[in-house]
Structure 1
Amino acid sequence: MTITTILLLAAAGFFSGAVNAIAGGGTFLTFGAMTLAGIPPISANATSSIVQFPGYVTSTLAYWDEISKRWRSALVLAVVSVIGSIGGSLWLLSLDNPSFRQIVPWLLAAATAIFAAGPWLTPKTTIERSANSPASVIGQFLTSIYGGFFGAGMGIMMLAVLGVTTGGSYHHLNALKNMLAILIAAVAIVVFVSGGVVAWPQAIVMIPAGALGGYAGVWMARRVPQTVLRWCVVAVGVALTVYYFVTG
């Protein structure tokens, strides 16, 4: 890697951690940076999962009190999340890079639209229903397949699905989403590492940068409006979508 590439990846990792701490959407930045660095799309996608993982862990720990009270009610969702993530990540590995590259612009377009619509998709109901209803199980299974396969926009998608199917306060839903996201990401990482598609040198550059960015995100949250960061991420998503449509 050149110095320029290292700086690009480090910056992407840093800002990925920061925007995840504030608004979410860090996958767009890491996937985009690795694309510019010449990493094949399957490897860039797999490596992004590893780079984002520490953020899922810290988010889960931040909601530990909420999770510790409710985890038993979400065991079925946890099981289907693992199964769905296995299916999605194995599906990714079954493709070659040219095939996946043709799908990427459509995935990016959908993920960007979901992320942009995030404020309207965020559930506002406080009426809590069973987390193990057929609707919530099916919805979470489909979301986890997507999360294992691609992952960008997964958090917003999961929050919306859980809000519609289970209800509850925002913090309850966010805690549940974080717990399930860490399972989906962990399973996908095991599959991707076993499949040998992770770009480790690039991951080693971005992981500590992402950790620093996550810490800095708390400072930025007090000074930069969340709307500004959200639309910056949307702009990156649009640019990546156009890039893949034009070059595909």
Structure 2
Amino acid sequence: MANVLMLLPSSDYDPTETAVPWCLLTDAGHTVRFATPDGQTALADRRLTETGFGPLSPWLMPRKTELALYRRMSSHALFLKPARHDAIDPAGIDALIVPGGHAKGMRSLIESTAAQSLVVAAFARNIPVGAICHGTLLLARSRQADGRSVLHGRKTTALTAPMELTAWNLTRLWLGDYYRTYPQTVASEIRAALRQPADFQPGPLLSRRDTARHPERGFVVQDGNYVSARWYGDAYRFAQSMLTLLHGS
């Protein structure tokens, strides 16, 4: 069974994008460990787990099923005792998962030089790496010796501009830039890190949330041992793709 590392920020990550892969991999017998910037337990975005979005909650909040998985994950012993990003020996991990989230706390992961070094090492070793939503920004900023991103020459997806800007426009009158982690969109930064624009694959314009019974509703892009997804609605297919990589590695 594999030793999987999930990189987290200090706070504000998406509960679905963490709990679904954690649950599927753990139930399959793999060990999922966690690392945060300071080695302290990190909780998900409270607006996504508790506060909600008023009348928009049915569209923007995680479903009860995924929130139950998050509660299960957040009470697990390994979750409660994460390592620091800079204390991880990359030789000791068999796979790497980088979830997303959009609130400002995500910057503590995306801008972590220690986390970026772990990503570079994982790609150099060609172990399975999965990134979803804003997690792909960490990969875009992870530079190899030649100065290029680990995504240069890879096909990938990520949170698309229509997805990001729609959520922002629906909420900005009372939440401001809550849905804008950075001034530029995720997709624009990812595209800039790629060898060619066509390597960014946005998936279908109209998307449905996948489920444990219907993972085919999700969208992922796989390129070798790297798998990427756009948003929490792809989480089950993303997790199953990671399982396939682990079982084939």
TM-score range, shorter chain: under 0.3
Please identify which structure carries the higher strand content.
2
Structure with the largest fraction of helix: 1
Work out which structure has the larger RCO, using CA pairs closer than 8 Å and 6 or more positions apart in sequence.
1
Tell me the TM-score normalized by structure 1.
Answer: 0.28
- Provide the TM-score with structure 2 as the length reference: 0.28
